[in-house]
Amino acid sequence: MIRILLSFILGSILLIFGVNMMTRGIECLNVIKIEKILSRYRHSIMLPFFISIILTGTLQSSTAVMLITVGLVDAGILSMYPALGIVYGCNIGTTVTAQLISFNLSAFAEIFIIIGLFLMLINNFKMTSSIFLLVKRFSNLGNILLGLGILLFGVKTLHSGAAYIHSNQQISSFVTHCGNSLLLSFIGGVILTVLVHSSSATVGLSIALFSSGLISLPCAIAFMLGDNIGTCITAQIAAISSGISAKKIAFFHTFYNLICAIPVLIFIKPFCELAEAYTKLLNQHSAFLIANSHTIFNILSAIVFLPLTLLVFKKKQFFSGR
């Protein structure tokens, strides 16, 4: 029992730490530059939408982009219109982490860690050799590779925890029982993500549990939908001391994820069939089913909400005479 808990706690910590280190490693996309990029397109929704996808996918953190967005809205730099585009884009960009976890790269975790550490250590040497100066240019890459290695090692640790569950009949029966309930899986995804403040860790956990056969595909998807809602808590907390506009965008982020999750939970069987068909079309292993479900869900949600947002704001401009 203790070994199982330690495996899942350590695996989750490593996942969170790995993602955070990868984010810090991308120094060229610092907060000031991100703010400038996002604030440049104040009267458009499509450009912020696509920029948000790229930024979130690169930074591996929808929370970071959402916190910046809440701050920009509160400062009056961004209006609700482009901010909504950022919300839709964030959800798609964050699916990159799930896709990365699904690739069977855990065996290379130690290699990425060693190369990352080497590049970081080289940066501390005071040498004028042309080779050393060339390598020092890639010191930021060391942070990214080290973060990736730690993330993959976290995935490996989560998988080992799932193997321990299989070896314990009582715990295996309990997890399987809970894993067959859509409601429990959904609520579990929300609560765990709120507690760890990282949807990457909980998506990684759902992938590990599904790949090990401990939970079914519908319940793994329900768990993933809970992740999407749980990750909104950080923006909600940040908006507490902010103005009305910032509170509105934080509330909409939660509302958007919840209102999109409800139809999928109701029609979970057709959605599972869609995910299976898409995965089969790409000739991918079943390990990609959760990551592909995550991607399909967020893309379909944006496809539905983007035209509605455009229509609502155009009508508002028409009736206000703008």
pTM of the model: 0.76
- Cβ-proximal residues to 152 (8 Å cutoff; 6+ apart), any chain: 18, 105, 106, 108, 109, 112
pLDDT band for position 271 (cuts 50, 70, 90): very high
The residue assigned the tokens 């950080």 is 234
> Which residue ranges make up each domain of the chain?
2-320
Please work out, in degrees rounded to the nearest 5, the angle formed at the alpha carbon of residue 189 by the alpha carbons of 95 and 112: 45
Tell me the pLDDT tens digit for each residue of 115-156. 888 877 776 665 555 555 555 555 667 777 787 788 777 777
Tell me the pLDDT tens digit for each residue of 149-196. 887 777 777 666 665 565 666 666 666 666 678 888 899 888 888 877
60 three-class SS: coil
The pLDDT of 299-312, averaged and rounded, is: 88
pLDDT band for position 269 (cuts 50, 70, 90): very high
42 vs 232, residue with greater confidence = 232
- Assess whether pLDDT exceeds 80 at residue 34: no
